[in-house]
Structure 1
Amino acid sequence: MPLAVTIRLDRALSADIESFWRDLGPTDKDMVPRLPYPPHLTLAILDDAMPAEEATRVLSGLSGTFPRTPIKISHVGVFPGKPAYIFLAPVVTEDLLTLHDTLVRVFPTDTVHMHHRVGNWVPHITVGAALRNIGGIMDRAHDMTTTLHGRTAEAELVQFPPVHVIATVHPSTR
């Protein structure tokens, strides 16, 4: 099963994202069921060759060494396909890229999926996957005016599917 390194969002921002999704009002017939995992940024998908025990050891070494990073959502976007993935995009800041760099460079480059390597990563918070009516969902999303902002929280190593948290690493207290 694949492994992912994620960064959770603070409670207030997570609640705002959940509220945004509920207010958007997609119907169950239009959507793929959501994963039972809170809003987050996926920093890396790791190759199956990376043993969970090794990934846990490597990531755990970062505990307390990375900052809580400000996040401000800039827009709603979509990765087209079947299904189409709807996401909220944070403003790409030097702090956000540094956080990604810090939490990904500890893994051998060849174990990190090419889309998540430093220089290739597109920060996004997936909020759903649409099977159909993507145009209607996106029209409603773009009509909603919202300013979502908060901070990152802990990093997690998760295995999926189904989502199972293997390790949690806390940011610095500064």
Structure 2
Amino acid sequence: MPLAVSLAARNSTADPIMALWDRFSVHERAPSMRDLAYPPHVTLAVYEEDAVEESDIFAALRRAVADGSVVRLTFDSIRTFEGDSTVFWAAPRPDETLIRLHRTVHDAIDPARCHPHYRPGDWIPHSTLATAIRPEGEAAARRLAAAFEGAITVDFDALEGLSFRPVRIIKTCRLGSSG
């Protein structure tokens, strides 16, 4: 199973993101994000199983949590990754702390070992909202995304190493208090 480093929101500030999961899920084959059984998150790195060891993930986590602060991100638009299946995601406003965490993880583990979409220069910060939109639900999901207004602020209070599908937490590093 692949390994990942993710910034997770394990607190009530994540509720509006989960509400978006639910709004998009009516257009999915199955509720992809609820079925993942993992909180709203921003993935910083993904590695194939044989590219890194769990000890590499532990070392990256130790370096990345040096300041231990909660990462507060504001999401103000919904975008898509186009492909075989359209992925809908919440886009955060630019945030230096998030960029620094991403850079620190990749300073700890050679970026060449990372999935290309998560490497420095190619990574697009995002929190996924839906991955399994039915073809007949895509137009409605696109209208839902286009109608999104306002901003959602989420306090990401955990940096985690995990393997996935299914998600298995390897290590959680709690970050400061969320308020």
Shorter chain as normaliser: what TM range? Answer: 0.7 to 0.9
- C-alpha contact 1:82 1:131 (8 A) present in aligned 2: no
Mind listing any 5+ residue stretches in structure 2 that lack a counterpart? none
1:43-58 matches, cutoff 5 A:
43-58=44-59
- The match for 2:147 among 140, 143, 149 is 143
Residue 62 of structure 1: SS of its match in structure 2? helix
- C-alpha contact 1:65 1:171 (8 A) present in aligned 2: no
1:66-145 matches, cutoff 5 A:
66=67, 67-129=69-131, 130-132=133-135, 133-145=137-149
Task: State the shift of 1:2 in Å.
Answer: 0.6
* Farther-moved stretch of structure 1 (143-152 vs 113-122): 143-152
Residue 49 of structure 2: SS of its match in structure 1? coil
* Farther-moved stretch of structure 1 (51-60 vs 74-83): 51-60
Q: 1:77 to 1:61 in 2, by over 3 A?
A: same
Distance in 2 (CA, whole Å) between partners of 1:2 and 1:158 is: 8
Count of aligned residue pairs for this structure pair? 173
Q: 1:134 to 1:60 in 2, by over 3 A?
A: same
Task: State the shift of 1:168 in Å.
Answer: 1.1
Q: 1:47 to 1:99 in 2, by over 3 A?
A: same
Residue 130 of structure 2: SS of its match in structure 1? strand
Per-residue deviation, residues 20-79 of structure 1 (Å, max 9, x unmatched)? 2324562444x5633121110010001322344322431342374143222000200111
Name the aligned partner's letter for residue 8 of structure 1. Answer: A
Report the counterpart of residue 65 of structure 1 in structure 2: 66
Q: 1:53 to 1:75 in 2, by over 3 A?
A: same
- The match for 1:155 among 159, 169, 175 is 159
Matched, 1:13 2:13: yes
Residue 115 of structure 1: SS of its match in structure 2? helix
Q: 1:53 to 1:150 in 2, by over 3 A?
A: closer
Q: 1:90 to 1:15 in 2, by over 3 A?
A: same
Q: 1:134 to 1:53 in 2, by over 3 A?
A: same
Q: 1:102 to 1:6 in 2, by over 3 A?
A: same
Mind listing any 5+ residue stretches in structure 1 that lack a counterpart? none
- C-alpha contact 1:4 1:42 (8 A) present in aligned 2: yes
CA RMSD of aligned residues (A): 2.4
